[in-house]
Structure 1
């Protein structure tokens, strides 16, 4: 009988994407196993959940969702009983580590789910901290997850996520009907938290400079439905074709629509990770919420803007923190230069 493996991963699409390499490793180790995912509703209700990316993929046949805000004791017991009926053989902890008291509660919950083995629980400091790399960079959350599952290398991207022929055709149809420009970029305002938001004035300056440099260039707006009006307001002076897909496409389809863009422009967000996943260069704006590198887009060729002067004050522990007004130190002129360099490439 095939193994039953439950993977624990909280968060939204960005969290799901950085988990893909570790999931691919587990899938290669247990090719016949049935995988299910235990997740939660995103902290920000407008953020796309993990299931919106991994639903229907090779990594999950079913999803279990933790009650919002932790839920009542009754709801937690009910969920544990539901999972126990499935009778998982093993649980893998592929989420950002909780606090030590919460880890104890999570361990007890996993035992209540009937798991015969619990793997990658981040008990030790090494599992809870990011390691320093060269050139002031720290290992990414993706690399930390690979480390805790003892993976020697990052697997090929072809094993990360599979798209169906129907999804590819849907993306092609959207572009054929809505984007008349031969060259276009993707933009997402995508900051769900105030300390990750660079501000409309900065974005307007950058977008206006890009469209002045290439008046025929198109732009695709990617994001949630609540970002639709704001994103469209920022491109009122855009000269080329505009395709506003905020709230119109699910994450998997958004990724495919961005596949042939010159580059992605925007905040550190789920759409940024979607673009990087399909090898699109990113011009990404970061606050000092985490050590430099932890949430940077995977791959090469990205232009990253980070408050480097604050890097030494940021903790190397995984988990939530606020970043104050650190993002305000990033200068529009530098971002414009990076964008125009990419626009000028043939």
Structure 2
């Protein structure tokens, strides 16, 4: 989002189009879901993420035909830093074949230092700031690191949609809400469910918070189990993305894994207590902005990039104790009490 806002701020009178893939059966949030109602883009173009050589060829051919027909002047390249040099050259050739001649953000892509056996991985800048740096190197003004605009431009209609969802939910509006995000598409990113249960129970006993569990439809059963263990709470798993963002904005803090819900909470201005695995470089996907707390333990295998940790049984996640996460949450809520009261 920060790169999108920077582009709209710079190209105020241009017609901006977003090109992104869609994965209807994957159950994941894609860029289109986030920006449709923000007013940043004038048009959103999508293409299916195809599998198999023939399907990929057909998908690319159709996309190339559409892009040539629309006659774009410029491509702003915002692929993640994981994109390799051969992939970048491939993409440049493809878009040149589509008639595009000007490229922004393609000449420099940050490369993380290689992993050295026995040495801890260095902390990287946020992925958001790395993307903004590419725009800066192309002459586009961007905010300083950590200070970019992140919001989804939520409206009164989004708040009304949330109120309609809450109308038939058991929820206590008189108590401070705490967002809980126990899920992830990647098992290696999930802190054990029972530990979330234990931490939130302590917060209920100490601060009388009202837990609201967020996530995708696949997290609904987990949310039900947690709420049953607490004896109270609201299941918001599977809510529409903008209504979920509005609800996260009403929470005093977010407690959860490194997942899209965490970034959505940060975009809503809610401070995060985020539990991270060591599968990736530290820093890269930490919640954006100030005031967040990240719990991450180093492990000999850090940087593994595994989606599912079988051999070590999630050693890095299991080494994060309930007491440490609870203390981080209490510190954040105590700050809120001193500043605003509960």
The normalised TM-score by structure 1 is 0.81
Aligned to 1:133: none
Q: What is the CA–CA distance in structure 1 between the aligned matches of 2:64 and 2:271, rounded to whole Å? A: 42
| CA positional deviation for 1:64 | 2.4
Aligned residue pair count: 313
- Answer whether contact 1:289 1:321 (CA < 8 A) is retained: yes
Q: Of residues 242, 249, 267 in structure 1, which corresponds to 2:257?
A: 267
Please show how residues 308-319 of structure 1 align to structure 2 within 5 Å: 308=298, 314=303
Q: 2:180 aligned with 1:210, yes or no?
A: no
Aligned to 1:127: 110
Unaligned runs of 5+ in 1: 1-19, 131-135
Q: Give the root-mean-square deviation of aligned CA atoms.
A: 2.7
Please show how residues 51-130 of structure 1 align to structure 2 within 5 Å: 51-69=32-50, 71-97=55-81, 98-121=83-106, 124=108, 127-129=110-112
- Answer whether contact 1:283 1:304 (CA < 8 A) is retained: yes
- Answer whether contact 1:127 1:144 (CA < 8 A) is retained: yes
Q: 2:9 aligned with 1:28, yes or no?
A: yes
Aligned to 2:290: 300
Change (3 A) 1:144 1:158: closer
Aligned to 1:11: none
Q: 2:114 aligned with 1:145, yes or no?
A: no
Q: What is the CA–CA distance in structure 2 between the aligned matches of 1:290 and 1:44, rounded to whole Å? A: 26
Aligned to 1:8: none
| CA positional deviation for 1:33 | 1.0
| CA positional deviation for 1:73 | 0.7
| CA positional deviation for 1:44 | 7.9
- Answer whether contact 1:255 1:274 (CA < 8 A) is retained: yes
Q: What is the CA–CA distance in structure 2 between the aligned matches of 1:289 and 1:323, rounded to whole Å? A: 10
Q: What is the CA–CA distance in structure 2 between the aligned matches of 1:32 and 1:330, rounded to whole Å? A: 49
Q: Of residues 239, 243, 252 in structure 1, which corresponds to 2:234?
A: 243
Q: Secondary structure at the match of 1:72?
A: helix
Aligned to 2:119: none
| CA positional deviation for 1:176 | 5.8
Change (3 A) 1:34 1:129: farther
Change (3 A) 1:336 1:234: same
Change (3 A) 1:293 1:25: same
- Answer whether contact 1:288 1:323 (CA < 8 A) is retained: no
| CA positional deviation for 1:202 | 2.0
Aligned to 2:181: 188
- Which string of whole-angstrom CA distances, capped at 9 and with x for unpartnered residues, describes residues 299-344 of structure 1? 1221211124569x539xxxx6658422222111100112233344
Q: 2:167 aligned with 1:167, yes or no?
A: no
Q: Of residues 215, 219, 236 in structure 2, which corresponds to 1:223?
A: 215
| CA positional deviation for 1:158 | 5.8
Q: Which runs of 4+ in 1 moved over 6 A?
A: none
Unaligned runs of 5+ in 2: 114-121
- Answer whether contact 2:179 2:254 (CA < 8 A) is retained: yes
- Answer whether contact 2:5 2:149 (CA < 8 A) is retained: no
- Which string of whole-angstrom CA distances, capped at 9 and with x for unpartnered residues, describes residues 243-300 of structure 1? 21211x2212111111121101110111111111121111111111222111000112
- Answer whether contact 1:198 1:285 (CA < 8 A) is retained: yes
Q: What is the CA–CA distance in structure 2 between the aligned matches of 1:148 and 1:323, rounded to whole Å? A: 32
The normalised TM-score by structure 2 is 0.82
| CA positional deviation for 1:175 | 4.4
